[in-house]
Amino acid sequence: MSLADELLADPDFITSRDEGAEGVESDEDLMKDLEESEEEFMEEDEDPEDGTEKPQFSQVEMKHVMDVRKVAKLLGSRQMRDVLSKIEQLKNTERSQNQILGPVEEDPEYKLIVQANNLTVDIDNEILIVHKFIRDHYAKKFPELESLVLNPLDYTRAVKAIGNEMDLTRVDLRSILPSATVMVVTVTGSTTNGQKLTEQENEIVRDACDMALELDAAKRKILEYVESRMTLIAPNLSAIVGSTTAAKILGQAGGLSALCKMPACNVMLIGVQKKLSTGFSNISSPRHTGYLFQSELIQRTPPDLRIKAQKIVAAKCTLAARMDRMHESPDGLFGRTLREQIDRKLEKLQEPPPTKAVKPLPVPDEGPKKRRAGKKVRRMKEAYAFTELRKAQNRMAFGVPEDETGSFDKTKGLGLIGQSTGKIRAAVADQRVKAKAPKRHQFTGSSGATSGLSSSLAFTPVQGIELINPEEAQKKVKEVNDRYFGGGAFLKVGKKQ
């Protein structure tokens, strides 16, 4: 914070004008004051140029600080009082879309919306500081409570309800904490080693609890006002990402006109925080994420789909902002239509992949299968038939050199061909698959009584070839048969007695 901001945050630094101001300002004076104080409230804290980090309040010991207003000065600051008073005057004023003419940035109430929305961030930080103050001072009474109740506001309400009571069974915490947490707190409180606070320490803790609850009430008041007015200034953009996120985006972008000129890829970067190389893990803070990534629409999406969802929402926000800039669809119908499209796309991304259909096995066909036949198939089977000769060629005797044959530079082993003692029979053609010649090409033999295999040539002991008549030879055989068997009985051949 600058020196001017620290002076403004100091409750003792009050001008005589503020002390003497009484009554309620008129609407014209209020609008004029808003325009004059725009630069004062729009200032933002800048990081130090030397890169050094500010000390975290969670590391500061607050046990020795006896007044919470010394560490939390926002509630009594002039900035908080002015914004809350102007919101109180304007929240009951009814305005319509027809009253907004020209650019939205020139409307005085728009500037108040941006200031109030930025103030909510400071309130959140202030609540955390007060929470740390309460923990340090109440640890003497109930040190285990801060590990059982983690939410700062719930912790504050529980501390205020318990107070200095040692018997927690007399304290009703059911309206503050869940039933399971109430039971754990009650059991732990009965066994705690804490000591009872003094009256002064109890008063310090009670004042800090009241301040935290007042800050929370101021924050809710601001958010209600921002939500009611953002539906008037940017109804379509608010319908997509909500009034709070829409106000943050408009304030950081420089207005609705500047947001309309931005591409969707730059809308995602609005509100991005600069990362410092402090040595801590950055796994919980993805890159290129700003206000849009922290919106409720993106945070309820599964972590693995948030970056893709952010791109989808950024594109739709750009379209909605351009519609709001042209004062089209003042009822927010266009924005609600875009929101429905976003929801359908996100639901589609979260659908599980389609399951693979398990097909049952076909009914086994145990019947005879059709086999390919024909002349080509028969010739192929005959050409690739595994004969005995091929089997002998593929065999080999151990320790016996193999005979080889070949021509030119190619050789081929003979295996056991010529070495086996068995007889290799020639392949016998299967009569069932043997090709049959057509009848018109079949050759018919002689029709005589003589066999077609008979020949007139015979080999005799005489040198040369002798030409004989087969019929004469048959006559000689017939004569011999008639001589011995012609009478119908065998002849007795033997020695005479």
pLDDT tens track for 280-293 = 445 556 777 888 98
- Interval 78-97 mean pLDDT: 80
* pLDDT of 46 higher than 50: no
- What DSSP string describes 250-270? HHHHTSHHHHHTS-HHHHTTT
The 8-class DSSP code of residue 50 comes to T
Q: Residues 259, 267: contact at Cβ < 8 Å?
A: yes
Could you tell me if 242 and 227 lie in one domain? no
Question: Is 467 part of any domain?
Answer: no
Same domain, 271 and 179: no
Q: What is the CATH number of the domain that holds 110?
A: 1.10.287.4070
The band of 207, judged by pLDDT with boundaries at 50, 70 and 90, is: very high
Q: Are residues 221 and 323 in the same domain?
A: no
Could you give the percent of the chain with pLDDT greater than 70? 70
Residue 141 has pLDDT above 70, yes or no: yes
Q: Are residues 345 and 248 in the same domain?
A: yes
Number of independent structural domains in the chain: 3
Confidence of residue 23 (pLDDT cuts 50, 70, 90): very low
What range does the domain containing 263 cover?
235-277+287-352
pLDDT at 407: 81
Q: Do 117 and 105 belong to one domain?
A: yes
CATH code of the domain covering residue 246:
1.10.246.90
Q: Name the nearest CA neighbour of 295 among 274, 280, 312, 282.
A: 312
Quote the CA–CA distance of 75 and 159 in Å, as a whole number: 21
97, 213: one domain: yes
**Same domain flag for 179 and 94:** yes
Could you tell me if 307 and 317 lie in one domain? yes
Mean pLDDT for 175-185 is 90
Question: Do 244 and 221 share a structural domain?
Answer: no
| Co-location of 315 and 387 in the same domain | no
DSSP state for residue 1 in the 8-state scheme: -
**C-alpha distances in angstroms, 396 versus 361, 384, 402, 413?**
46, 21, 7, 10
Within this chain, do residues 178 and 242 fall inside the same structural domain, yes or no? no
Confidence tier at 460 by pLDDT (50, 70, 90): low
